[in-house]
Amino acid sequence: GAVVSQHPSRVICKSGTSVKIECRSLDFQATTMFWYRQFPKQSLMLMATSNEGSKATYEQGVEKDKFLINHASLTLSTLTVTSAHPEDSSFYICSAGLAGGYTQYFGPGTRLTVL
């Protein structure tokens, strides 16, 4: 149980375009989902906390207008990287927590390459 999926696993896009990444909890309802960014050989950096039915809470230094997060249902959160640039190239990981629980379960990640 507690499986989280992400789609796509890899995406290559041109500079200036927008990319949407989906995060789904497959076998449980997640009132809260989290979006992380991970640079090579580094730890995970929390970008934002996504709550179902409300606005996401962004970490300091993360541009809200660039990284749009929508949590429309208890099983789906999306991250849209708008007007992507090469410096946005990274590994993006989502996680979800069981309602009432305290453990986060992670998706397999999405590698974004912006040309």
**Is position 34 an interface residue for other proteins (rule: CB under 8 A)?**
yes
- Output 82 or 98, the one with its CB closest to other proteins: 98
Residues 3-32 that bind other proteins (CB under 8 A): 32
Token pair 């970008």 is found at 47
Number of residues that bind other proteins (CB under 8 A): 19
Q: Which residues contact 45 (CB under 8 A, 6 or more apart)?
A: 36, 37, 38, 39, 59
Q: Single out the residue of 43, 53, 60, 61 in contact with other proteins (rule: CB under 8 A).
A: 43
Q: Single out the residue of 37, 56, 88, 97 in contact with other proteins (rule: CB under 8 A).
A: 97
- In DSSP notation, 53-107 reads TS--EEPTT--TTTEEEEEEETTEEEEEE-S--GGG-EEEEEEEE-TT---EEE-
- Output 82 or 106, the one with its CB closest to other proteins: 106
Q: Single out the residue of 53, 60, 86, 102 in contact with other proteins (rule: CB under 8 A).
A: 102
